[in-house]
Amino acid sequence: MRRFTGTVMLLFLAVFCTGCSFGWKKAGESADRQSEPEPAEDLIVVGFSQVGAESDWRMANTVSVRTALTEQNGFYLIFEDAQQKQENQLKAIRSFIMQEVDYIVVAPIVETGWDAVLQEAKDSGIPVILVDRETDAPKDLYTCWIGSDMRAEGERAGEWLADYLQEQGRGDEEIRIVTIQGTMGSSAQVGRTEGFANVMADHENWNMLAMQSGDFTQAGGQEVMEVFLDTYEDIDVVVCENDNMAFGAIDSIHKAGLTCGPNGDIILLSFDAVRAALEAMKAGEINAVFECNPLQGSLLARAVKALEAGEVLEKKQYIEETYFDADMDLESILKTRAY
């Protein structure tokens, strides 16, 4: 099962480890494990290139993968945090190929630029599983993809807004909207932006004043919202393409002496639905959040085990998602929320 050999390990250490940013880490460990023994022969070695730690969602996603791919479950996880840089992901994938891992798992930061490295993985016979975000790479370069339908999330947000405005008697009013986008070129940004735009096309009275990236971080969201508030006098709706940017936007809205949420000056929509966002909604700061489910670890573990058993998997595996708004029983929802 495992192709992880001492010779290759030594070769990899000699050629790549001096001065390189990625060390070999076991699930749940942060220390460099270059001096540690090799994993047991019967474990399935999985190299996972994660985007980074830019958001609460991302952290929950990392925990989910680490919790599912444990030695007790038969895995040996090599985790690499790319710190939101595609070049780091490319390096990590090439290091996984050098290490002859059994499976490569990638959460691709952006959609483009993967063909060459995925071809290298394919040539070396290592199956690649994509998680979370999608790529435009030819489908034969990876085994399957497990993640969220980001376009559906964006459409859900647009439809929710249309219903809400109608209920508020504002269905025909001019609605001035700004969007704080995620990392440009990521399928999360592309899908949510396009999905929302699809619904917007049916509402001539909706006016998108500006869209700017906050790179999925709280600091980014705060900065972009500050610029929007300085530039536009009347903003009716802020669409934040993730919760952490929404937290930053809320700070800027308050700093400008304004309020947001169901009883506020600005309608605030967000994506992810992490615990802190539901708490902010309960506190009256957010109108609605459109879930992006980070709990992909068990699906990933199941997919690897199925491949080991020789099964053929569905190419695309969507994870279930919903939405939450301020009219719901958030108290009860929070009691059972896993992230």
Site for ligand AHR in 180-219 (CB under 6 A): 188, 216
Please work out the total of residues on this chain that contact ligand AHR, with binding judged by CB under 6 A: 12
Give the nearest distance from C-beta 110 to ligand AHR in angstroms. Answer: 11
Select 66 or 133, whichever has its Cβ closest to ligand AHR.
133
Q: Site residues for ligand AHR, window 103-132 (CB under 6 A)?
A: 132
Find the binder of ligand AHR among 50, 55, 88, 287 (CB under 6 A): 55
Q: What is the bridge-based pairing of β-strands 75-81 and 44-50?
A: parallel
Q: Is 133 in the site for ligand AHR (CB under 6 A)?
A: yes
Q: Which is nearer to ligand AHR, 57 or 76 (CB)?
A: 57
**Whole-angstrom distance, CA of residue 171 vs CA of residue 19:** 59
Q: How far is the CB of 205 from ligand AHR (least distance, A)?
A: 28
The four Cα atoms 187, 189, 195, 200 give a dihedral, to 10 degrees, of -160
CB of 274 to ligand AHR, least distance (A): 8
Which part of the chain contacts ligand AHR (CB under 6 A), choosing from 55-63, 66-74, 275-283, 299-307?
55-63
Q: Quick one: which of 4, 45, 49, 58 contacts ligand AHR (CB under 6 A)?
A: 58
Nearer residue to ligand AHR within complex by CB, 4 or 271? 271
The reply to whether 272 sits near ligand AHR by the rule CB under 6 A is: yes
Q: How far is the CB of 276 from ligand AHR (least distance, A)?
A: 12
Based on the shown chain and the rule CB under 6 A, indicate whether residue 57 belongs to the binding site for ligand AHR: yes
Of the residues 12, 48, 206, 271, which one makes contact with ligand AHR according to CB under 6 A: 271
Tokens coding 142: 């990876």
Residue bearing tokens 């006016």:
207
Q: Which of residues 307-336 bind ligand AHR (CB under 6 A)?
A: none
Judge residue 169's burial from the number of C-beta atoms within 10 Å of its C-beta, 0-12 exposed, 13-18 middle, 19 or more buried: exposed
- Judging by DSSP bridges, how do beta strands 267-272 and 323-325 pair with one another? unpaired
Q: In angstroms, what is the minimal distance from the CB of 58 to ligand AHR?
A: 5
Does 242 help bind ligand AHR (rule: CB under 6 A)? yes
In terms of CB distance, is 39 or 182 closer to ligand AHR? 182
Closer by beta carbon to ligand AHR, 91 or else 133:
133
- Which lies closer to ligand AHR via its Cβ, residue 74 or residue 185? 185
* Number of C-beta neighbours around residue 271 at 10 A: 33
Shortest Cβ distance from residue 187 to ligand AHR (Å)?
Answer: 7
CB of 290 to ligand AHR, least distance (A): 10
Residue from 126, 238, 292, 304 binding ligand AHR (CB under 6 A): 292
Footprint on this chain of ligand AHR (rule: CB under 6 A)? 54-55, 57-58, 132-133, 188, 216, 242, 271-272, 292
